[in-house]
Chains A and B, each alone.
Chain A
Amino acid sequence: MTALIALEGLTKAYPGVVANDDVSLSIAPGEVHALLGENGAGKSTLVKMIYGLVKPDAGHMQMNGTAFAPAEPRAARAAGVGMVFQHFSLFDALSVAENIALGMEHPPAMRTLSQQIRDVSDTYGLPLSPDRTVGDLSAGERQRVEIIRCLLQEPKLLIMDEPTSVLTPQEVEILFKTLRKLSAEGTAILYISHKLEEIRSLCDSATILRLGRVVGHCTPSETSARDMAEMMVGTTLKTPMRAGKTPGDVVLELTELSAKSPSAFGMPLREISVQVRRGEVLGIGGVAGNGQDELLAALSGETLSKRGMVGFKGNDVGLLGPTARRALGILSAPEERLGHAAVPDMSLTENAMLTGAAREGLDRGGILDWAGARRFAETIIKTFDVRTPGPANAARSLSGGNLQKFVIGREVLQRPELLVVNQPTWGVDASAAAAIRQALLDLAENGTAVVVISQDLDELMEISDRFAALNEGRLSEPSPAQGLTVDEIGLMMGGAHGMEVAHV
Chain B
Amino acid sequence: MFFGGLLFVALGKDPVAAIRTIFYEPLFGQYAFYYRPQLLVKGAPLVLIAIGLSLGFKAGIWNIGAEGQYIMGALFGAGVGLAFYPYEAWFVFPLMVAAGAFGGWIWAMIPAFLKVRFGTNEILVSLMLVYVAEQFLASMSLGLMKNPEGFGFPGSRNLQQYESAFNADLIEGSGMHWGVVAALIAVIFAYVLLSKHRLGFAIRVTGEAPRAARFSGVNPVRLVLFCMGMSGLLAGLAGMFEVSGPAGQVTIDFNVGYGFTAIIVAFLGRLHPVGILLAGGLMALTYIGGDIAQSQLGLPAAAIQVFQGMLLFFLLALDMLTHYRLRFGTAEVV
Q: List residues of chain A with CB under 8 Å of any chain B CB.
A: 53, 72-74, 83, 85, 89, 102-103, 300-302, 321-324, 326, 332, 334, 336, 338-346, 350, 353-355, 357-358, 363, 366-368, 370
Contact = CB atoms under 8 A, between A and B. Distances in A.
B60 to A, nearest CB: 13
Interface string B183-216: 0000000000000111101001100110110111
Contact of A73 (B196, B208, B332): B332
Contact of A340 (B197, B199, B209, B217): B209
Given A322-B216, A367-B197, A343 B208 contact: yes
B212 A340 contact: yes
A302 B216 CA distance: 9
B319 to A, nearest CB: 14
Given A302-B214, A339-B211, A357 B198 contact: yes
B334 A346 contact: no
Closest 4 CB pairs of A and B: A323-B217, A322-B217, A354-B216, A340-B211
B332 A74 contact: yes
Contact of B212 (A72, A74, A83, A354): A354
Given A72-B332, A102-B333, A368 B198 contact: yes
A403 B56 CA distance: 29
A368 B197 CA distance: 6
B201 A353 contact: yes
Given A322-B217, A326-B217, A346-B205, A363 B212 contact: no
Interface residues of B, number: 19
A336 B212 CA distance: 10
A181 to B, nearest CB: 25
Interface of B: 196-199, 201, 204-205, 208-209, 211-212, 214-217, 219, 332-334
Contacts of A350: 201
Contacts of B199: 366
Nearest to B211: A340
A343 B216 CA distance: 10
Contacts of A326: 217
A338 B198 CA distance: 21
A300 B218 CA distance: 13
B215 A302 contact: yes
A72 B196 CA distance: 48
Given A322-B216, A339-B212, 4 more contacts: A341-B215, A343-B208, A345-B208, A358-B217
B197 to A, nearest CB: 6
Contacts of A301: 217
Contact of B197 (A322, A354, A366): A366
Interface centre among A334, A340, A355 (most CB of B within 10 A): A340
Contacts of A355: 215-216
B196 A342 contact: no
24 contacts: A53-B334, A73-B332, A73-B334, A103-B334, A300-B215, A321-B219, A324-B217, A326-B217, A340-B211, A341-B215, A343-B205, A344-B208, A344-B209, A345-B208, A346-B204, A350-B201, A354-B205, A354-B212, A354-B215, A354-B216, A355-B216, A366-B199, A367-B196, A367-B198
A265 B258 CA distance: 43
Interface centre among A73, A332, A343, A355 (most CB of B within 10 A): A343
A301 B199 CA distance: 19
Contacts of A300: 215
B251 to A, nearest CB: 42
A333 B197 CA distance: 24
A89 B334 contact: yes
A233 to B, nearest CB: 31
A452 to B, nearest CB: 18
Contacts of A345: 208
A334 B211 CA distance: 10
A53 to B, nearest CB: 8
Nearest to B193: A366
